[in-house]
Structure 1
Amino acid sequence: MSETTALRLSARTGTIMVAFTVVFTALMAFTYGATKVQIDAAAADEKMKLISEVLPASSFDNVLLDDFVALGPTPALGLDEGGRIYRARKAGAPAGLLLETVAPDGYSGRIDLIVAVRADGSVSGVRAVTHRETPGLGDYIDPKKDKNKASPWIAQFADIKAADLPGCKVKKDGGQIAYHTGATISARAVTNAVARAARFAADNHDRLFAAQNGEKFAGNP
């Protein structure tokens, strides 16, 4: 094979590879664009299903996931990298707040939670979003894994009034929240995180609802 022929073959191969890369990239971009809307919609549906477990849909009439304030690092909520607080409204009036919060001191590490707090400061509901607590021991913080389906442990937080927050501690610490023997750490971590979130909501209620949609909010440390 002559040098000229070899150069032509090399150039042709390079052109084919470039063309293949362009076509492949275009196909990937098209596929991503075509499916992103569906993926985002599915994720929103899953999030709303979880929210409905702590804040009844009948209690608000706004598009909850579109009405939020952004948080930077917020130690009071255990959020090292920030998060969001969603605002529920009914006929334009404040109805409640949905807070992302973290219990950093679970038995097996951090426990991600959502805490719904009504406009009057009472807790509407709590759910563990992600955790790594010991199966069969500390995982009762998740109602899907709690063996007591009729009265799951985490249901104790529903309807705790703002005035009752000083007692929002496990009974071992002198509070009102029951726990499973031998699994105090998980219960204590969640209980303390819920109390912190409820206090944060109460302390910042008016400012949170007055903030512009999507605004970066600087709350109490």
Structure 2
Amino acid sequence: MATKTMQKNGLLLALFAIIATFLVLAVEALTEDRIKAQQRAQTLRSLNEIIPSTLHDNDLYQSCRLIQEPALGTSEPTALYRAFNDDRRSALAAEIIAPNGYSGAIRLLLAIDPNGTVLGVRTLEHQETPGLGDKIETQKSDWIRSFSGKRVRSADDKRWAVQRDGGMFDQFTGATITPRAVVQAVKRATLFLQQNSDTLFAADLPRCQQEQVMEVSDE
């Protein structure tokens, strides 16, 4: 009798596990498109913030191309956006990765002008500690805006570090790893974009795969 009861309980547990797994997969399938749409909308909002409409007359999202470059923080293809105004080059933007955040990779959006000056940086996705590392969000702090107007002079530009390391960027109280990771990633990517600006504007790169392009007004 005890053996049959154990078998019955085991079967019930297995059944519950199968049902729970099915429900999780079903929820993921139902929300996948919505999550992607929200991510697209966030990227567009961020693009419109750091490359305002006064600097371009082309559709930034439609200009998206794929580039594979370790200097952008990942070995995977990542998005590159090219802005034009009256057919003249006005800005480059790239989605970059800071791989060494406190809680994992931090996905960022960086834009520079044709002279290599940073137009802006925005955080697209992260898992940093609430109340500490999440100050890389504009909703929590203006820290991420401190990159605007700056330029990387060389790979040895020691200004591009947090103040604790002798640089010009503030660190967060109780959280140095997060800002250090972001500064390093932005420095590395900015230098790459500066040095390869002409090539990147002219390169015949593959288009980003976009199931749906959402229109988001400038903020």
Establish whether TM, by shorter chain, passes 0.5.
yes
**Could you tell which deviates more after superposition, 40-49 or 157-166?**
40-49
Q: Does 1:132 align with 2:127?
A: yes
- Which among 54, 69, 72 is matched to residue 50 of structure 2? 54
Task: Mark the structure with the bigger radius of gyration.
Answer: 1
AA of the residue aligned to 1:161: R
Q: Does 1:160 align with 2:156?
A: no
The answer for the alignment partner of 1:196 in structure 2 is 188
Identity %: 39
AA of the residue aligned to 1:119: P
Quote the offset at 1:93 in angstroms: 1.0
Q: Deviations over 1:60-83 (max 9, x none)?
A: 1111112233123x2211123211
Measured at CA, do residues 119 and 80 of structure 1 come closer, stay the same or move farther in structure 2, by a change above 3 Å? same
In 2, the alpha carbon distance for the partners of 1:169 and 1:214 equals 34
Look up the SS of the partner of 1:163 in the other structure: coil
Unaligned ranges ≥5, structure 1: 1-35, 147-151, 217-221
In 2, the alpha carbon distance for the partners of 1:45 and 1:75 equals 26
Q: Contact 1:69–1:208 at 8 Å: present in 2 too?
A: no
- Which among 83, 92, 95 is matched to residue 97 of structure 1? 92
AA of the residue aligned to 1:158: S
Q: Does 1:182 align with 2:178?
A: no
AA of the residue aligned to 1:87: R
Quote the offset at 1:43 in angstroms: 6.1
AA of the residue aligned to 2:52: P
In 1, the alpha carbon distance for the partners of 2:58 and 2:205 equals 13
TM-score scaled by length of structure 1: 0.72
In 2, the alpha carbon distance for the partners of 1:114 and 1:58 equals 19
**Over aligned residues, Cα RMSD in angstroms?**
2.5
In 1, the alpha carbon distance for the partners of 2:43 and 2:111 equals 13
In 2, the alpha carbon distance for the partners of 1:101 and 1:81 equals 10
In 1, the alpha carbon distance for the partners of 2:48 and 2:177 equals 27
Q: Contact 1:67–1:213 at 8 Å: present in 2 too?
A: no
Q: Deviations over 1:162-191 (max 9, x none)?
A: 438821211111111111122110000001
Higher helix share: 1
In 2, the alpha carbon distance for the partners of 1:136 and 1:175 equals 23
Unaligned ranges ≥5, structure 2: 1-32, 209-219
Measured at CA, do residues 101 and 39 of structure 1 come closer, stay the same or move farther in structure 2, by a change above 3 Å? closer
In 2, the alpha carbon distance for the partners of 1:164 and 1:183 equals 27
Aligned length: 175
Query: Structure with the greater relative contact order (CA < 8 A, sep ≥ 6): 1 or 2?
Result: 2
Q: Deviations over 1:104-162 (max 9, x none)?
A: 0000110000001111100011111100100111110111123xxxxx11111011024
Q: Does 1:79 align with 2:74?
A: yes
The answer for the alignment partner of 1:70 in structure 2 is 66
